[in-house]
Chains A and B, each alone.
Chain A
Amino acid sequence: MKLEVVSRSGQTIATLDVNPEAPVSELKRKFYGIKRKYYPSRQRFTLPLKPGEKRGTVLDDSKSLSHYGLGDGGKVEFKDLGPQIGYSTVFFWEYFGPLVVYPLFFFFPKYLYPHLEAPKQHHLVQKLAVAYWSFHYAKRIVETFTVHKFGHATMPIFNLFKNCAYYWGYAAYVSYFVNHPKYTPPNEKASLACLGLALLMQLGNLRSHIILSNLRKPGEKDYKIPRGFLFNNVTCANYTFEIWGWLLYSAAVQSIPAYLFAITGALQMTQWAIAKHKRLVKTFDGRDGRPKYPRRWIIFPPFL
């Protein structure tokens, strides 16, 4: 059948001949064949807007064209998502920065705090803090390549710069003050306790990631209800542990930039958690044989 590809302003870009039962990915492959600039991960197709809709239905790669009711002479709207980059690539670079940047202030105070007399030895808290921070980001990189299964293959390349600026910037900001020659260490026992608990939170976060990655079997694309461990009580249990980890790190080092970093991260994770929770509640509505999503905290009991 023939499908008309139009731009968002209504202009016809191309007409493609496709099999109605073919998946959307085949449409993208064919479009790439005639428009070499737009490789498949850059293409987004939507059905024309129905009255009352703000955004047309997005065509999923794995579904067939007939699934969307597209017949001969049908129209699809094309959007260029811009240059794309793989999720794992972005994750690697955004986590690699903090792993390198933070320790710089610990190991090279002569260069990073010029004109300042550095004490001969770092305080115990500072040593454990650099170890904790490095462990955290090394863990994240390992998870990126061995645990996480990404829902989308790519994201816009601008995100690479935005995310790296955030992670690398905050790493420098926190590290500068925690490793500063004029750093005032808090009570040592309290700091050790906080870091110990923080480490437990990291293990909780790791276990949560493993549970999430096992939810879908290879090839499955549908949403699942997470179960087990803290997920029985909290939708985004992984974020719960992550937030606690950073709050405990901040309490251990007693530095405002660390708290700022923890709060900023918590706010972003909260935004994501609310969206995920709403999506799960909407999907698992208890009708047509679907289970009903259980009553759970969203991200951070007893607040949300």
Chain B
Amino acid sequence: MRISQAYLALYNALQACGWALVLANLLYGILRKDLPEQLYAAAGPITNVVQGASLLETVHAAIGLVPSSPLMSLMQWMGRSNVLFLILGPISQLHSSWWSVLMLATWALAEVIRYPQYALSSLGSCPAWLTWLRYTMFIPLYPAGVVAEMGLMVAALPDLAERKPYSLELPNPYNWAFSYHRFIQVVLALYPFLWWQLYSSLLRARSKKLAPQPPKASKSQ
């Protein structure tokens, strides 16, 4: 086994474990009828770690370790990280919102399928049922996830308008102004469109990956 193969298998396995912990904490808490802020307290910190670490995936793409586009990878990471670190984390009122629970749960459910599928694929032996799960479960999970992310951003708007975090006002020596509140409004307007690009490309990938494979070697993805 090459080092790169072993590294990828290890990376994906660790991510799978991390997200499994997130999911386990959420399920356990939900069964105990915990409040959203308790669920966030239990699952939030681990989510921060795995999400932060997933920036590595952009590096993997940039150095050619995986065939993905580094730009796409970075944009997806920034989208999730923006909601998790810049919005949900700092705004404590949102910790008691069910949007945050929905978001963490849909992310975790998708990732505990995706990372094991990557890990086993990089070792060359991924069972067909897992590939099927990876290319099917996103169908309900991704829409639920994007609705949750948008719900959180909308819920955050009043706080962002008042506190004005990460913002810059004129006059200043950089001759630039940036309103994070306005930025999130623009992001909300673009989100459905950007999300659809990702979702439709996964649907296309699904028909390729789940189609009966022809006997001769097909073009690589």
Could you tell me which A residues sit within 8 Å of B by CB distance?
A: 54, 177-178, 180, 182-184, 186, 253-257
Query: Lowest 8 A-B CB distances belong to which pairs?
Result: A256-B176, A255-B175, A182-B170, A182-B171, A256-B174, A184-B171, A177-B175, A184-B173
Q: Is the CB of A255 within 8 A of B174?
A: yes
Q: Is the CB of A180 within 8 A of B170?
A: yes
Q: Is the CB of B171 within 8 A of A254?
A: no
Q: Which residue of B lies closest to A183 (CB)?
A: B175
- Grouping DSSP codes into helix (H, G, I), strand (E, B) and loop, the A interface class, with mixed when no group exceeds half, is loop
- Chain B hits for A178, CB < 8 A: 175
Could you tell me which B residues sit within 8 Å of A by CB distance?
A: 170-177, 219
Q: Is the CB of B176 within 8 A of A177?
A: yes
Q: Besides A184-B173, A184-B175, A186-B173, 11 other CB < 8 A contacts? A: A54-B219, A177-B175, A177-B176, A177-B177, A182-B171, A183-B170, A183-B175, A253-B175, A255-B176, A256-B176, A257-B176
A299–B172 Cα gap in the complex (Å)? Answer: 33
- Chain A hits for B175, CB < 8 A: 177-178, 180, 183-184, 253-257
- Grouping DSSP codes into helix (H, G, I), strand (E, B) and loop, the B interface class, with mixed when no group exceeds half, is loop
A271–B174 Cα gap in the complex (Å)? Answer: 28
Nearest Cβ on chain B to A149's Cβ, whole angstroms: 32
- Chain A hits for B171, CB < 8 A: 182-184
A157–B219 Cα gap in the complex (Å)? Answer: 30
A183–B176 Cα gap in the complex (Å)? Answer: 9
Nearest Cβ on chain A to B20's Cβ, whole angstroms: 37
Q: Which residue of A lies closest to B172 (CB)?
A: A184
- Chain B hits for A256, CB < 8 A: 174-176
- Chain B hits for A54, CB < 8 A: 219
- Chain A hits for B176, CB < 8 A: 177, 255-257
Q: Which residue of B lies closest to A254 (CB)?
A: B175
- Chain B hits for A255, CB < 8 A: 174-176
- Chain B hits for A182, CB < 8 A: 170-171
- Chain A hits for B173, CB < 8 A: 184, 186, 254
A54–B172 Cα gap in the complex (Å)? Answer: 52
Interface centre among B172, B176, B177 (most CB of A within 10 A): B176
A59–B171 Cα gap in the complex (Å)? Answer: 57
Q: Which residue of B lies closest to A54 (CB)?
A: B219
Q: Is the CB of A254 within 8 A of B219?
A: no
Which of B170, B174, B177 contacts A254 (CB under 8 A)?
B174
A54–B217 Cα gap in the complex (Å)? Answer: 13
Nearest Cβ on chain A to B200's Cβ, whole angstroms: 17
- Chain B hits for A257, CB < 8 A: 175-176
Q: Which residue of A lies closest to B174 (CB)?
A: A256
- Chain B hits for A186, CB < 8 A: 173
Q: Which residue of B lies closest to A181 (CB)?
A: B170
18 pairs from A and B in contact (CB 8 Å cutoff): A54-B219, A177-B177, A180-B175, A182-B171, A183-B170, A183-B171, A183-B175, A184-B171, A253-B175, A254-B173, A254-B174, A255-B174, A255-B175, A255-B176, A256-B175, A256-B176, A257-B175, A257-B176
A11–B89 Cα gap in the complex (Å)? Answer: 55
Interface centre among B171, B173, B175 (most CB of A within 10 A): B175
Nearest Cβ on chain B to A180's Cβ, whole angstroms: 6
Nearest Cβ on chain A to B204's Cβ, whole angstroms: 15
- Chain A hits for B177, CB < 8 A: 177
Nearest Cβ on chain B to A145's Cβ, whole angstroms: 34
Nearest Cβ on chain A to B173's Cβ, whole angstroms: 6
- Chain B hits for A184, CB < 8 A: 171-173, 175
- Chain B hits for A254, CB < 8 A: 173-175
A183–B171 Cα gap in the complex (Å)? Answer: 6
A163–B221 Cα gap in the complex (Å)? Answer: 29
Nearest Cβ on chain B to A188's Cβ, whole angstroms: 15
A52–B43 Cα gap in the complex (Å)? Answer: 47
Nearest Cβ on chain B to A51's Cβ, whole angstroms: 9
Nearest Cβ on chain A to B220's Cβ, whole angstroms: 9
- Chain A hits for B170, CB < 8 A: 177, 180, 182-183
- Chain B hits for A180, CB < 8 A: 170, 175
A184–B177 Cα gap in the complex (Å)? Answer: 12
A182–B169 Cα gap in the complex (Å)? Answer: 10
Q: Which residue of B lies closest to A177 (CB)?
A: B175
Nearest Cβ on chain B to A247's Cβ, whole angstroms: 16
A144–B138 Cα gap in the complex (Å)? Answer: 48
A256–B175 Cα gap in the complex (Å)? Answer: 7
Nearest Cβ on chain B to A224's Cβ, whole angstroms: 32
